[in-house]
């Protein structure tokens, strides 16, 4: 019997992260798996919010709850119909669980924390396609996660990306 997997997808709602989500859905997700959509908000939490979230991220949010406008506002996430439709479709067609987890802070560190906290079997993420100089100056979330995550990481480039 095949083990049900925990697959993480880093989602910042860019073209490359949407391509990563589509790739994970088409190539990895299978019946019984859990797909964790991990969003990192670089802004710090409003002080009136639960201080615990700053360290551990949001509670696990089921897809049906996450679709609600109030819930998305509560977690400071912009509504993206394309992503929500992809998640709804895969949830129904492949009979997988879709869970959203929101973190606040540095994307590099928080994605690696998510791998450990959620005990992910694999992580899929997009690449912005920074050139070598930009990577040196700005750093690369992708390079950091590839080097530090405790699970296999798949990097997906958007098909329109020009080298």
Q: Residues 56-93: pLDDT tens digits? A: 788 899 999 999 999 988 888 888 999 999 999 999 99
| Bridge partners, 7 (sequence order) | 35, 122
Q: Residues 41-64: pLDDT tens digits? A: 887 655 445 566 667 788 899 999
Segment (H or E) for 6: strand 6-10
How far apart CA 62 and CA 98 sit, in angstroms, is: 6
Indicate yes or no: pTM above 0.85.
Answer: yes
| Alpha carbon of residue 78 to chain centroid | 14
Mean pLDDT for the chain overall = 85
* Longest CA–CA separation in the chain, Å: 47
Sequence length of the chain is 163
Does the pLDDT at position 15 exceed 80? yes
Higher pLDDT, 1 or 157: 157
């Amino acid at each position: 019997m095949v083990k049900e997997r925990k697959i993480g997808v880093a989602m910042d709602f860019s073209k490359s992260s949407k391509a990563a989500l589509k790739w994970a859905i088409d190539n990895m997700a299978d019946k019984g798996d859990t797909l964790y959509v991990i969003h990192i908000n670089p802004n710090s939490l409003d002080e009136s919010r639960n201080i615990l979230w700053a360290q551990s991220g949001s509670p696990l949010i089921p897809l049906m709850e996450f679709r609600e406008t109030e819930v998305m506002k509560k977690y400071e996430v912009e509504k993206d119909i394309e992503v929500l439709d992809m998640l709804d479709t895969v949830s129904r067609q492949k009979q997988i669980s879709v869970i959203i987890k929101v973190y606040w802070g540095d994307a590099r560190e928080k994605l690696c924390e998510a791998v450990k906290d959620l005990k992910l079997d694999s992580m899929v993420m997009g690449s912005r396609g920074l050139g070598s100089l930009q990577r040196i100056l700005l750093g690369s979330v992708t390079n950091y996660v590839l080097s530090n995550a405790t699970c296999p990481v798949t990097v997906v480039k958007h098909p329109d990306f020009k080298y």
